[in-house]
Copies of this chain bind each other. A is one copy, B any other.
Amino acid sequence: MRFTCEKSILQDGISTVQKAVTGKSTMPILNGIVLQTKGNEIILTGSDIDLSIETKVRADILEEGSIVIDAKLFGEIIRKLPNDTIHINTIENNSIEILCQKSRFSLIHMNAEDFPVLPNINENMIFSVSQRILKHMIRGTIFATAQDETRPVLTGVLFEINNKNLNLVALDGYRLALRSEELRSDNTISAVIPGKTLNEVSKILEDDDKNVNITFTPNHILFSLGETKVISRLLEGEFIKYSSIIPTEFNLKVVAKRSELLHCIERASLMAKDSNTNLIKLSIEEDNMVITSNSQLGMVREEMSIILQGQSLQIAFNSKYLIDVLKIMEEEEITMEFSSSVSPCVIKNSDINNCTYLVLPVRLLNN
């Protein structure tokens, strides 16, 4: 193998595929990335089996070949080299030589044949969505995935396509997050993608209108973004029938300014932290919401104007769950729908109907 490549181009490629290298694998070869030279490209691949990332960068290939090289060390070396052309070629003793200006490294490599083969996915494109939209949909749901493994399927995010809609859903028993977007697709699909791999996918997605193409197989999902392919395994098991959880009726509806409510709850939660329960109480009456919390250190009372339709209500929440939702929402005006002090609260945008958040209240002893 022998090639030359601009430092910045090679560095970008390494940084993309490194996102799949966890450094925690028991298989030493998975601490490496594959460099394969072919035509006028280097194909770089990183994998931790659950997640695999492959990308292509342009280079002058003088001799084709493929090797596996330690991802962390190789990445750091390339990053620290001057901004100039880098020459890389295999030498004796299972090593590669890296030359750039007056720097010369020789590094032991591993054999590409020992690297696990990526799942072969037939790319009949199933659907296509803008990178920005998908990135925001992932960020807007992933925080609600379960953190413990009691029900493994809940550590993932449900990708559901039906009725020309793409829905992403996560829930953990205390709250639910649902984001929807219209889609030009007549397919019906339902698959659960691990939160951990989806988090890496969201880092690769750019905040622009370029498309990402998504293909499903029975066990994998493939995201194709230009020269980069991301393959994640799917989680097994049946996802909870989430639509039956979301209440469709309510007794009172509150319209509020999102950032004002967020700041009030953040301040109230300062007192709630002390007792580790994060407990805050909302008292909704006429055009006013009063938020209170207290602990051994003192008490807090916040008040804000709202628009109320329906009767008054007193209800308590774990402030963390409300803060998570209010921070991730993007529109400035939101609605909150309540039925009783022991029923879930449903939070939506006022204008755009693309998200639904559900938070369970905390039942107080005197309710």
Residues of A within 8 A of B (CB): 70, 73, 76-77, 80-82, 95, 102-108, 263-264, 266-267, 270-271, 274, 296-304
Residue from the list B104, B298, B302 in contact with A102, Cβ < 8 A: B302
Inter-subunit contact B303/A102 (CB<8 Å): yes
Residues of B within 8 A of A299 (CB): 105-106
When C-beta atoms are compared, the residue in chain B nearest to A300 turns out to be B105
Residues of B within 8 A of A297 (CB): 70, 73, 107-108
Q: How far is the CA of A82 from the CA of B303 in the complex (A)?
A: 13
When C-beta atoms are compared, the residue in chain B nearest to A106 turns out to be B298
Q: How far is the CA of A83 from the CA of B341 in the complex (A)?
A: 34
Residues of B within 8 A of A304 (CB): 102
Residues of B within 8 A of A77 (CB): 267, 270
25 A-B pairs with C-beta separation under 8 A = A70-B297, A73-B270, A73-B274, A77-B267, A80-B263, A80-B266, A80-B270, A82-B263, A102-B302, A102-B303, A102-B304, A103-B264, A103-B267, A103-B302, A103-B303, A104-B300, A104-B302, A105-B267, A105-B298, A105-B300, A106-B299, A106-B300, A107-B297, A107-B298, A108-B296
Residues of B within 8 A of A103 (CB): 264, 267, 300-303
Q: How far is the CA of A297 from the CA of B95 in the complex (A)?
A: 9
When C-beta atoms are compared, the residue in chain B nearest to A93 turns out to be B298
Q: Nearest-CB distance from A83 to chain B (Å)?
A: 11
Q: How far is the CA of A107 from the CA of B300 in the complex (A)?
A: 8
Q: How far is the CA of A296 from the CA of B303 in the complex (A)?
A: 64
Residues of B within 8 A of A303 (CB): 102-103
Q: How far is the CA of A271 from the CA of B270 in the complex (A)?
A: 47
With A108-B296, A296-B108 in contact, is A81–B301 under 8 Å at CB? no
Residues of B within 8 A of A106 (CB): 298-300
Residues of B within 8 A of A300 (CB): 103-106
When C-beta atoms are compared, the residue in chain B nearest to A100 turns out to be B267
Q: Nearest-CB distance from A273 to chain B (Å)?
A: 8
- Most chain B CB within a 10 A radius of its CB, from A81, A270, A274, A303: A270
Inter-subunit contact B267/A80 (CB<8 Å): yes
When C-beta atoms are compared, the residue in chain B nearest to A301 turns out to be B104
When C-beta atoms are compared, the residue in chain B nearest to A290 turns out to be B102
Q: Nearest-CB distance from A297 to chain B (Å)?
A: 5
Residue from the list B70, B80, B271 in contact with A105, Cβ < 8 A: B271
New A-B pairs, 6, CB < 8 Å, besides A77-B270, A103-B267, A108-B298: A76-B270, A102-B302, A102-B304, A103-B300, A103-B303, A105-B299
Inter-subunit contact B298/A95 (CB<8 Å): yes
When C-beta atoms are compared, the residue in chain B nearest to A302 turns out to be B103
Residues of B within 8 A of A81 (CB): 267
Q: Nearest-CB distance from A37 to chain B (Å)?
A: 20
Residues of B within 8 A of A263 (CB): 80, 82
The 3 closest A-B pairs by CB, nearest first: A107-B298, A102-B303, A104-B301
